[in-house]
Amino acid sequence: MPQALAPDDIIRRHGDAAEGARPPLVVIEPLAEMLAAHGLGDGDPAELSVEPVGEGHSNVTLAVSSAGREVILRRPPRGPLPPSAHDVLREARLLRALEGTAVRAPRVIFTCEDQAPMGAPFYLMERVPGEVITDVMPPALDGVVERRRVADELIDALVELHDVDWMAAGLEGFGKPTGYLERQLRRFGGLWEHNRTRELPAVERVGAWLADHLPDSPPATIVHGDYRLGNTLFAAEAPARLTAILDWEMATIGDPLADLGYLLMFWAQDGDPPSGRFDLQGVTRLPGFPTRAEIIARYEERSGRSMQALNWYLTLALWKAVVFMEGNYRRAIVGSTDDPYLMSFGEGVVQLAERALEVSHGAA
């Protein structure tokens, strides 16, 4: 379920915030004016509504309605934020570059670099129809054949992304095509120092193992960075059809197998032990969904890439998730979010770190 908005998340105009209150997420009057300037409303603040959408716990995602039009607003959460994280303008640049390619992504309507209207930069994009699949299948897709097709669509859409000529798309400078894995280790090692709230020796042990067993990367592609079933939209009717890939905050240019390792981290199959707090897509245990080995085989067949050291990529995905989730837990501790889900991450992060350590030592 989408997170509810807190009373101080939205104010009508600047100056309405109570003394000592947190910065708002949305200021209605300047937003209404900007929508009207882009033909998305009549400028009347009373006709503008804002509702949270999705189950994301990182960048703020809101459905904004005015004069019968509905769009999606993306902005950073409240601070404190790690350096370079939650860069929504960078995210918008990528989405614009993907227009005209085969990648299934929402279209950006406009961006606002000025922090004055909302207290942070933001952008608006189209709202693509579809449903997010996590723990419940849409009724029309809840059968063996359609479940398999959902998985096939998920892999095929990832292959489409990795096939994009990122230089021709205008993404020169968006990321460095070489040294991606080394940078990932440095970046997330630094983020761990920024995010951590306690000592977790398993995190340092896994980081050291990753550095000691670094594989050779295939040619660089666009990397989504958070690619999983719960970050996609599917049409509600059969046959299953992936309509959009969401949440591009972590995207860059790098090693495509990092996306596959990340997808496998979330891919539960029959016989797996419970994943606890971070079981974000339990439906993949149902009959019809392929195993992780079958996922790898389809990606290899469709992409033409040879699979290498996938245990390393899975360990990397788990380690990065530990670092990222600890950052969200830190935000909850310091009171910059009201999200109760993030407050519950304390023990879950510990369990995820132990899982990463197990996988680094050969656990499936």
- Determine the pLDDT at residue 139: 96
- Determine the pLDDT at residue 20: 75
253 neighbors 180 (Cβ within 8 angstroms):
yes
- Determine the pLDDT at residue 83: 59
Parallel, antiparallel or unpaired: strands 232-234 and 242-245: antiparallel
Provide the strand spans (E) within the chain.
Answer: 10-11, 26-27, 49-52, 60-66, 69-75, 108-112, 122-126, 221-223, 232-234, 242-245, 252-254
The model's pLDDT over 80-93, given as tens digits with 9 standing for 90+, comes to: 666 566 789 999 99
Q: SS3 for 342? A: helix
320 neighbors 186 (Cβ within 8 angstroms):
no
How far, in Å, CA of 255 to CA of 185, rounded? 13
How far, in Å, CA of 40 to CA of 71, rounded? 9
Q: 154 vs 17, 106, 201, 247, 325, CA distance in Å? A: 43, 16, 35, 15, 24
pLDDT band with cut points at 50, 70 and 90 for residue 130: very high
How far, in Å, CA of 151 to CA of 82, rounded? 34
Q: What's the average model confidence in pLDDT over 155-166?
A: 98
pLDDT at 272 over 90: no
The model's pLDDT over 203-258, given as tens digits with 9 standing for 90+, comes to: 999 999 999 999 999 999 999 999 999 999 999 999 999 999 999 998 999 999 99
How far, in Å, CA of 195 to CA of 331, rounded? 9
- Determine the pLDDT at residue 244: 98
Q: What's the average model confidence in pLDDT over 296-303?
A: 95
pLDDT at 2 over 60: no
Within 10 angstroms of residue 7's Cβ, the number of other Cβ atoms is 9
Largest CA distance in the chain: 60
> Comparing C-alpha atoms, which of 207, 173, 160, 172 is closest to residue 187?
207
Q: What is the DSSP letter of 78?
A: S
* Contacts with 273 (C-beta within 8 Å, 6 or more apart), sequence order: none
Output the average pLDDT for the chain.
Answer: 89
The model's pLDDT over 330-359, given as tens digits with 9 standing for 90+, comes to: 877 777 766 666 666 777 888 889 989 998
Q: SS3 for 66? A: strand
> Comparing C-alpha atoms, which of 106, 111, 150, 108 is closest to residue 128?
106
How far, in Å, CA of 103 to CA of 116, rounded? 33
> Comparing C-alpha atoms, which of 229, 233, 232, 224 is closest to residue 320?
224
- Determine the pLDDT at residue 333: 75
The model's pLDDT over 8-64, given as tens digits with 9 standing for 90+, comes to: 899 999 888 888 788 899 999 999 999 999 998 888 898 899 999 876 557 899 999
Q: What's the average model confidence in pLDDT over 72-80?
A: 87
